[in-house]
Structure 1
Amino acid sequence: MAKIAVRGLLARKLRLALTALAVALGVTLIAGTYIFTDTITKSFDTIFTQGNKGTDVALSPNNDLAGDNDPPPIPASVLARVKQVDGVAQAEGAVFSAGGSFRKADGSKLKGKGFSAIAGAHDVKRFESFAPTQGHLPETADEVAIPKGTADNEHLRLGDKLQIQDAAPKKLYTISGIVTIAGVDSLGGGVIAVLTLPEAQRMTGKGTAFDEIEVAAKPGVTPAQLKARIAKVVPKGIEVRTGPEQADQQTKDIKTGFLDFLRTALLAFAGISLFVGAFLIFNTFSITVAQRTREFALLRVLGAKRKQVLRSVLAEGLVIGVVGSAVGLGLGILVAGGLKALFKAFGADLPTTGTVIASRTIIVSLLVGTIVTLISTLAPAFRATRVPPLAALREGLDSGHKRSRWATPLAALLTLGGLALMALGLFGTAKASAALSLMGGGAVATFLGVALLSPRLVGPIAGFVGIPFERLRGITGRIARENTVRFPGRTAVTAGALMIGVALVTFASVFAAGAKSTIREAVDNGSRAQAVVENTDGFSAFSPQATAAVAKVPGVKEVAAIRTAQGRIDGKKKGVTGVDQRTFPDLYHSGWKQGGDATMRALGDGQVLISKKYSEDNGVKVGDTLRIETAKALTVPLKVTGILNDKGGLTGDLVVTNSLLERDFGARKDAFVFVGYDGSRPATQVKAQIDRLLDTQFPEAEAKTNGEFIKQQEDQVNQLLTLIYALLAMAIIVSLFGIVNTLVLSISERTRELGLLRAIGMSRRQVRRVIRYEAIITAEIGAVIGLVLGIVLSILVTRAIDGFRLAIPVGSLILLLVLAALAGVLAAILPARRASRLNVLESLAYE
């Protein structure tokens, strides 16, 4: 039976190649994801290990509650205390602060993407991780060193000028050195400006404080011993680690934050591709089992047992699974490079110091691809065992998709159960990880349920979609439509693969349209300001000195700065919003459940406003006291004085004063600022003057009108949508292979039929048209079902988001249907040519 399985595969080489390729494409993204993220993790680990190799003990603030802000710096008094510890040979403070604006002398922005920061050069050389390749590290307050990667990309040389601005106003520096960072040319493509330590402290607003303290031990004192001694003299909220522990922690911070999220997201898209591939594998084996009915019957006549037939079909699936998984693993190396390029194009240039292929990657890729293939092959394999020996005497074929009387109830149960699981994940009280699992499982069940129901929809949809082809193309259009409904189960499974991709694209499109509509409505209804100041990158915080300078511009009546931080209540992290309570009510309209603008203006440093949702979810009311743990390792009691119902979602769950946020949470920068004009000058003139001020002194920030702010937010949504489309492309490609495979296999079983049509006068062109129209109708069936399913899922998900405005992008969805038709045309190219080239006489004699 093993020989029969191998010969069965080799006898149908095109089927083997197309099916194995579907498996390979699903596995490719899994392998590529693991290789990509493992390589980045290893690269950061190498960088951090190299950067800490001269450090025996490192002190750093606890950044667990830092959020998007730098953690509170370490006071200079701690460094003085550390130097007095027995066993300390040398100790030095360091500055490495994220953010900053970097421009050439002519004012043009540097093109660096990703992580950017301002660092201070060390006096103690053993602690220094910046190594000059040209020139020297800065020696005066007017000099700067930049990474080699930045210098190469921007064509900067020694002696060129660089404008830098962060917490302090813009200043012009001379490039004194080109450096590598812990042995690499750049840290993820970002710009890092190395200044003298005092200048870095001034520019970042740290004063005399530090972001880290590095310590070297005296001979005979181990790092562990020194760590224990230092830990006894430092205040709460400062972490003390050995050099290797610090490197491990830095790697862990990267890995458990951004990289774990990235890996999970990419694996989700890989799972979608593999799920779509499972439809293709199932359909392929179902068709081939139907086509080989007489072959299996003859084997039974010759004495083959049901178990042997089962093993034969499963062996074919095993071979295809292993071959496809192995090919996918090889392609994963190329995809890892493609993922790096994709994320670089979207502004995340992540470091890679060498490709990492872990044994876990190989094992998971081979196992997942093979197991999914075998599971998809099971149903057709069992169907093959039910072929009776007498079938060897029959002529003709069945569809390979006989519906059980339990199919419809099972489909309804899966669909309703899937929707219920998604609703439980969205509206239940489960933790985030459990909620995501419920939603993922619910989505899979829903897709399977709809796929099982879809054979009943094939006829009506094919009739609707096929009407234009029949009226415009006559008999060829009619034949194409009738071919799609001849075997509705087969057509449904083929269309089902495309249905999943279209449903997810529809969901993303509807969600993005709703997000843009929500942003537009929130700004239009909430903002009473004439301009908004924010960081030029659209998300980072910026210097409060810029806010103070804007407030003094002639024509500006008042400004309201908004800051953000994180706190912890009862062990749970919560976002905290800081506002200028005196001016905020004038420039932003907050809805209220309990309280009003007067409540906001009376907000004191020992008080907090909470959202309606937080109040209802946690049973908190006005007059209660919340105890919030802050990034400064403080526990602050705050009395609830009002309950907000902010439809715009600007203020979050907890609202306090900016002064409290800076004092107790360490949030020193503004996230964005509302600006109100006094009407004494034309708005365009005031805006132009603000633009000149920021460009001259604070190029890190920029001012936007409400319309410009809305457009920028929409552009960010569009950019994210484009990234999602790019990652979903793999699933769409796999589904197109499904259409190709089905058409190729159906042409094989319709050889005599096509020969008869050619014999009675159908031209080669008409044959190609029939196959092309079949592909288009099949693709449109999947697109229509996917479109409806995607809209339903988006409605369900968005109902869980408070204040979200649902919007259906009709134009985009119509375009999606058109693109599905074009995809059908592409999928039909090979099968149509194959069908038109059949020899008429040989086709008439074909069995």
Structure 2
Amino acid sequence: MAGSLVAVFLGVTFLTGTLVLGDTLASSIDRYFSGAYGRSDVSVRNATKVSDEPWGTRGQIDASVLERVRRVDGVANAEPVVQGSGQLLAKDGTTIPSRGPRTAGNWLNDPKLNPYRLAAGRAPRAPDEVVVNKMFADEGHLEVGDRTAVLTPERVAVTVVGISKFGSEDAFGETSFTAFSLEGARKYVAKTPDRISSVAIRAAGGVSQDELAARIRPVLPTGTEAVTNRAQVDEGMTAVQDGFLTVFRTVLGAFGGVALLVAAFSIHNTFAITMAQRTRESALLRALGAGRRQVVTVAGAEALVIAAVATLAGLAGGLGFAALLRLLFTQFGIGIAMESLTVSATTLLIAIPAGLLVTLVAALGPALRASRVPPLAALREVAAEPSRPSDTRVIVGGVFGSVAAGTVVLGAAGGQVATAASGAVLCLVAMVVLGPVVARPAAAFVGAPAARLRGVAGALARGNAMRSPRRTAGAATALMIGVGVVTLLTVFVGSLRASLEDGVAGSFKGPLVVDGGSNETGGFDPRLVQEAARLPQVRAIAGLGTGAMRVDGRVATVAVGDPSALRRVLDLDVRQGSLAGPGTFAVSKKIADDRGWRAGSRVGLTFADGTAQQVTVGAVYDATDVTGDYLVPRTVWNAHTRQPLDTRAFVDLRPGASAGSARRALTALAEPYGAPDVETRDAFIAAQTSEMNGFIAVVYGMLALAIIVALLGIANTLSLSVHERTRELGLLRAVGATRPQIRSMVRWESVIVAVFGTAGGLGLGVFLGWGLGAALGDPFAAPPVQLAVIALVGAVAGALAAVRPARRAARRAILASIAAP
């Protein structure tokens, strides 16, 4: 019972911890959004939305809007806001790494409108003076009075006159914000005194946000809108909830569900064994007049007590687990500081019923079997469990397994992820049903080496594992699920990485890449590409940037570049048309097929500044790993932005040119542009998949708990099995078996069960990983080293799970064991 309690406790701890982490992250993001606009009441901004991101790009508006707004009754103060791309350079002139946006703008003088506050120094006054946020000042080793530069994308030499904080935080997430004076922001960021990004407005006393916004709207020109602070916060949170948070909660919830599912098998096996051992007791209760419902009630009461105690303990443990997860995610860097844990009512309403119901449902089957014991069983010895599965189980399991495998294969062949995923769920069901069917032959096969190499102890271990296939399957299935999920993710991520590597490697054959980071507000001035093209070692070079716009009315992230230059360094596998013209608009084959486009089709583009333009599809390509689904000509893009940026440049060299010499020349040339990395092709390809390493490490750490629960189940099963075989163990000792032999027998029985579960999990995980990867179009790439480590860990863990049961079995006194009832 203690083992079952621990299993439920760990399962509920896992589920509660993941749910609390989701609540904490949502609360932290909400806090960030609430402070993002200071204590402004209304903002006036461009009405054109071209991105679904919470801080998606919006175009500039006419600066004359400011004076119109200031004249509206109820406006206490209004200040212009200028914001755009601005990369702060460190003291040594290099770009400061950041996972968040790299922005620059103007310092708002009204402290109620400014979400930032001065932590040191003063506000900027001259155009070349800036205030930088503390996180990036620390990372760039900058202090008040230091000289550095900001790339807007032109290099602007500046003096740091102040250090700011976002409320109590060192930065807004991991956003770099460099604040110029209004004059400096207009000159270097907006590039004109006639345009601004938005207007921040504070209401006079007694005027509500909604009322003020209603008064402002009539004076606004077409293409602008007035939005309340509350609406902006809700808008941002909705975007996060519908995107990142939904995925985050789903993934974490799935891990919690796996842990509880594994715990359910441990509970079920425990109750199945204990109820089987109490067969005569149940029969005596029936003989004395107890009804079936009463027998079920007794077992249910036991399960309920375990569930209640374990669930309450799991809620407390979940808080500690959430704190650990918060630390892990902070270390891996998600860009949001999560200070205090937040527990919502929804978390409690999910975790408490889940812990109770999983335990009760897991105990229901054994309780029903106990209630069906005939009263006459009290008068005779009865077998605790059937040694062979029923014909019904064999038939149902065979049908289920065939349908499940066929569904996965069908989804993989047809590129249907939903079909493959549903097949994966069916495979889990089939595995549970077929477990007792394959347990006996599998234990015989896995245990054969032990029987040959370990003599009598090995043969007895093999026989014990084969004796109760339902029990063996129950213990192994829990481990099978944990190992299967780990293997599935390993194969899936390996295939995804291989797909990305193959795609990038297939598209780009050149030796060098100038990598400025993939962030939309990070990169380098396109003039770097123009200067690099004049190097004697360079045969061809093409820059590539990113942006957001509406394509045919739909929000889209696009690649920006010169198609005619890109075709000389990238192979985009053009299926229709040509990339020869510098003004060619191109789309992927997938998008073209979905929208019914082809070369020559007319497509409408809407830019962040609100202007619309019709373009002709000049090419349709199939290789999307580098450019994505849309390629917009830079000549078209630059007409609607004042801050053109390249995030990467692909370089091909002249025949005979030294890659090392070219790399040194490019590195020196790139230094004034923030020193973006000049990487070899192989290093660039490896960098594209490096972010997966942190994710997979967190996943392995979280799934390790599910495997620990499974191993507790094996230890629990062995302990109960040892207790059940007390007389048998005593007789073995009486006929000459030594204590080391008894320990060896129990250990090998555990290893057989663990190897059975690990092998089944590996096979299932590889199959499902192939199916889901193939449905997404990824090549099959099962990492052999990782899979070998998983197999080794499973076998070793099985031996560790048997340490305590084996020691208890060997310590039993011979005569007391033989005399046991």
TM-score normalised according to structure 2 size: 0.91
Aligned AA (1:373)? T
Q: 1:593 aligns with which of 559, 563, 575?
A: 575
Range that drifts further, 447-456 or 212-221:
212-221
Distance change in 2, residues 1:44/1:612 (3 Å): closer
Aligned AA (2:509)? R
Does structure 1 residue 380 correspond to structure 2 residue 372? no
Aligned AA (1:758)? R
Q: Secondary structure at the match of 1:588?
A: coil
Aligned AA (1:584)? L
Equivalent in the alignment of 1:3: none
Taking the aligned partners of 1:427 and 1:85, their CA distance within structure 2 comes to 65
Equivalent in the alignment of 2:628: 652
Does structure 1 residue 688 correspond to structure 2 residue 664? yes
Residues 163, 170 of structure 1: 8 Å contact kept: yes
Equivalent in the alignment of 1:625: 602
Taking the aligned partners of 2:346 and 2:301, their CA distance within structure 1 comes to 25
Equivalent in the alignment of 1:493: 474
Equivalent in the alignment of 2:679: 704
Superposition map of 1:137-216 within 5 A: 137-148=123-134, 158-159=144-145, 164-165=150-151, 167-169=153-155, 171=157, 173-174=159-160, 176-188=161-173, 191-200=176-185, 208=193, 209-216=195-202
Equivalent in the alignment of 2:354: 368
Taking the aligned partners of 2:548 and 2:235, their CA distance within structure 1 comes to 20
Taking the aligned partners of 2:285 and 2:86, their CA distance within structure 1 comes to 72
- The sequence identity of aligned pairs, in percent, is 32
Distance change in 2, residues 1:413/1:468 (3 Å): closer
Residues 102, 176 of structure 2: 8 Å contact kept: yes
Deviations 1:775-797, CA, capped at 9 Å, x for gaps: 22111111111111112112211
Taking the aligned partners of 2:744 and 2:655, their CA distance within structure 1 comes to 68
Aligned AA (1:766)? Q
Deviations 1:499-531, CA, capped at 9 Å, x for gaps: 122222222222233233333333333213331
> Aligned-pair distance for 1:274?
1.4
- Gaps of at least 5 residues in structure 1 are 1-14
Q: 2:781 aligns with which of 794, 798, 807?
A: 807
Equivalent in the alignment of 2:79: 92
Distance change in 2, residues 1:288/1:637 (3 Å): farther
Q: Secondary structure at the match of 2:168?
A: coil
Equivalent in the alignment of 1:33: 18
Aligned AA (2:598)? K
Q: 1:616 aligns with which of 593, 603, 628?
A: 593
Distance change in 2, residues 1:570/1:162 (3 Å): closer
Superposition map of 1:780-819 within 5 A: 780-802=755-777, 804-819=778-793
Deviations 1:237-293, CA, capped at 9 Å, x for gaps: 645212233233333333333222211211111112112222212222111111111
Taking the aligned partners of 1:144 and 1:677, their CA distance within structure 2 comes to 40
Residues 565, 667 of structure 1: 8 Å contact kept: no
Deviations 1:735-770, CA, capped at 9 Å, x for gaps: 112111111111111111122222223232222222
Taking the aligned partners of 1:580 and 1:406, their CA distance within structure 2 comes to 66
Does structure 1 residue 448 correspond to structure 2 residue 425? no
Residues 311, 356 of structure 2: 8 Å contact kept: yes
Equivalent in the alignment of 1:287: 273
Distance change in 2, residues 1:808/1:379 (3 Å): same
Q: Secondary structure at the match of 1:337?
A: helix
Taking the aligned partners of 1:497 and 1:30, their CA distance within structure 2 comes to 17
Equivalent in the alignment of 2:447: 466
Aligned AA (1:494)? A
> Aligned-pair distance for 1:587?
0.4
Range that drifts further, 586-595 or 77-86:
77-86
Taking the aligned partners of 2:363 and 2:643, their CA distance within structure 1 comes to 57
Residues 103, 521 of structure 2: 8 Å contact kept: no
Equivalent in the alignment of 2:646: 670
Q: 2:620 aligns with which of 643, 650, 657?
A: 643
Deviations 1:675-714, CA, capped at 9 Å, x for gaps: 2223474221111121233344323x21211111122224
Does structure 1 residue 395 correspond to structure 2 residue 375? no
> Aligned-pair distance for 1:164?
4.5
Taking the aligned partners of 1:843 and 1:192, their CA distance within structure 2 comes to 75
Equivalent in the alignment of 2:252: 266
Q: Secondary structure at the match of 1:351?
A: coil
Q: Secondary structure at the match of 2:543?
A: strand
Does structure 1 residue 562 correspond to structure 2 residue 544? yes
Does structure 1 residue 54 correspond to structure 2 residue 35? no
Q: Secondary structure at the match of 2:57?
A: coil
> Aligned-pair distance for 1:366?
0.1
Taking the aligned partners of 1:97 and 1:745, their CA distance within structure 2 comes to 67
Superposition map of 1:224-235 within 5 A: 224-234=210-220
Distance change in 2, residues 1:34/1:164 (3 Å): farther
Residues 106, 182 of structure 2: 8 Å contact kept: yes
> Aligned-pair distance for 1:459?
3.3
Does structure 1 residue 315 correspond to structure 2 residue 301? yes
Aligned AA (2:500)? I
Q: Secondary structure at the match of 1:637?
A: strand
Residues 63, 71 of structure 1: 8 Å contact kept: no
Taking the aligned partners of 2:406 and 2:219, their CA distance within structure 1 comes to 55
Residues 60, 609 of structure 2: 8 Å contact kept: no
Aligned AA (2:432)? A
Residues 57, 548 of structure 2: 8 Å contact kept: no
Distance change in 2, residues 1:575/1:249 (3 Å): closer
Distance change in 2, residues 1:775/1:92 (3 Å): same
> Aligned-pair distance for 1:400?
6.7
Taking the aligned partners of 1:427 and 1:633, their CA distance within structure 2 comes to 43
> Aligned-pair distance for 1:207?
5.0
Q: 2:57 aligns with which of 45, 68, 71?
A: 71
Residues 93, 213 of structure 1: 8 Å contact kept: yes
Q: 2:751 aligns with which of 776, 779, 782?
A: 776
Q: Secondary structure at the match of 1:214?
A: strand
Distance change in 2, residues 1:239/1:843 (3 Å): farther
Distance change in 2, residues 1:533/1:150 (3 Å): closer
TM-score normalised according to structure 1 size: 0.88
Residues 98, 116 of structure 1: 8 Å contact kept: yes
Residues 764, 836 of structure 1: 8 Å contact kept: yes
Equivalent in the alignment of 2:238: 252
Taking the aligned partners of 2:134 and 2:96, their CA distance within structure 1 comes to 14
Distance change in 2, residues 1:153/1:287 (3 Å): farther
Residues 279, 494 of structure 1: 8 Å contact kept: yes
Equivalent in the alignment of 2:327: 341
Q: Secondary structure at the match of 1:403?
A: coil
Taking the aligned partners of 1:764 and 1:27, their CA distance within structure 2 comes to 38
Equivalent in the alignment of 1:505: 486
Distance change in 2, residues 1:764/1:779 (3 Å): same
- Gaps of at least 5 residues in structure 2 are none
Equivalent in the alignment of 2:692: 717
Distance change in 2, residues 1:574/1:44 (3 Å): closer
Equivalent in the alignment of 2:714: 739
Q: 1:296 aligns with which of 282, 287, 302?
A: 282
> Aligned-pair distance for 1:731?
1.7
Taking the aligned partners of 1:239 and 1:422, their CA distance within structure 2 comes to 50
Distance change in 2, residues 1:53/1:705 (3 Å): closer
Equivalent in the alignment of 1:21: 6
